[in-house]
Amino acid sequence: MSSDQDTASPTPRPGGNLLRHHDFRLLWVGETASKVGTAITTVALPMVAVNVLHAGTFAVAALSAAVWLPWLVLGLPAGAWVDRLPHRRLMIACDLVSAALLLSVPAAYALDVLTIQYLLGAAMGIGAVSVFFTTACQVLLPAVVPRDDVPEGNAKLQGSESTAQLVGPSLGGLLAQWFGAVFGLLLDGASFLVSAVCLARMRPTGKPGDEPGKAPGPPQPRSSSLAQEIATGLRFLFTNPYLRPLTLYTAVANLAAGGFEAIIVLFLLRDVGATPGAVGIMIGVTSAGGLLGALVTTRFARRFGTARGTLISEFVAMPFALLIPLTTHGYGLALFLVGGLVINAGTVVSSILTMGFRQTYCPPELLGRVTSASRFLAFGTLPVGAFLAGIVASSMSTRSAIWISCITLALSGLILLASPLRKCRDFPTETARHVT
């Protein structure tokens, strides 16, 4: 295991080279298309519930929770399964299943059989598939590009995701206003098909379905059971002085974010009085902060260090969450825009830095299990936050639930002060040792 002491900052590499890398370019294009469609759905799905099915506050919150609930059930075993399966083939299968689930919603609407229960089931199915896809994608990237290019790859993928979140919600809100919310789900389904085609065109080597660009290595030894493999990943995560606090912090921050995201569309529509088109545009505009964060992360990390840069981005950005519950109609919408822009910028900077650290720090044979274990905890709190926000919004008010979520988010960074990260300029740059 690497020392707790500060390490030298890695020498920056010139940017822009990865877009000439055939397999990364396909991965990037497919992910970008998929993220645009998903961003449309983040607005379209709750609008289908509110405007088409006339669902109540708790049902809308439950819809958001349903997307993340599979992380609580599948998050831990998914990593062990991903470590056993060919990652690219698994991702293609996930894309095809997601497309089928999304396209089934407009079909059910056309046949006049769409209900809130059907919508919840589709959301949960999409969430279950996403558990495997996102875990496999995290493991695939270091196999596609050289180790030193992993930070650039993460920055480009995060940048395209932020761009998608800028364009997608705005487009989703306008489509909902012009053609109806169900239409946006058609575009998301098509985007997953684009992603599947891009992944299929990557050049595999070795056995069928192997990661592209890598010669097959020797078989990795396996524990005698799936439970033991899961336990190995958990033990590595919780005994590591860097990964443990990062995971706990993300879990608490996502508890707050889950509540916020579950009811924000409802809050803007009903409490603030914004139109569907305006809601989509505002959510999209705040995502420009994420794009800015992705653009400046490399220079930010060079200036402040990877570990210190993570702390700065969180402690500066998260208190801006307190502006969002103050949002009102008219000029008061600026409070939502400013708060969302700064939060997204800080979140993306810290996400890129910590994601790249985990991908290069974890032993390759444990990466799938460690990724799924950390995301089990981090993403598993999202549905809990959504359900809690739904309960508070139903029993008190939507604005009260937004206040509680935003205060929790603003204070969550205190967890990082109780970790070795507060003394480090940079994350360790060497792969940790896996002691069995």
pLDDT at 88: 86
How much is the pTM? 0.65
Residue span of the structural domain in which 286 resides: 17-212+226-423
pLDDT at 408: 94
In a domain, 175, yes or no: yes
pLDDT at 400: 93
Number of compact structural domains in the chain:
1
Length of the chain: 436
pLDDT at 252: 92
In a domain, 320, yes or no: yes
pLDDT at 172: 65
- Give the Cα separation of 436 and 434 in Å (integer): 6
In a domain, 217, yes or no: no
For residue 120, what are the CA distances in angstroms to 69, 93, 126, 270, 333?
11, 22, 10, 22, 30
CATH number of the domain encompassing residue 168:
1.20.1250.20
Asked if 190 contacts 37 with a C-beta cutoff of 8 angstroms, the reply is: yes
In a domain, 2, yes or no: no
204 strand-pairing partners: 212
The pLDDT tens digits for 168-194 are 666 666 666 676 667 767 777 888 898
Asked whether the CA dihedral 385, 387, 388, 394 is positive or negative, the reply is positive
In a domain, 407, yes or no: yes
- Give the Cα separation of 228 and 347 in Å (integer): 33
Classify residue 183 by burial, with Cβ atoms within 10 Å: 0-12, 13-18, 19+. middle
Which tokens go with 376?
Answer: 């089990």
In a domain, 8, yes or no: no
The pLDDT tens digits for 100-142 are 998 998 899 888 898 889 988 988 898 888 888 888 887 788 7
Question: Residue ranges of the chain with pLDDT lower than 70?
Answer: 1-16, 162-177, 179-181, 184, 204-225, 432-436
In a domain, 218, yes or no: no
In a domain, 7, yes or no: no
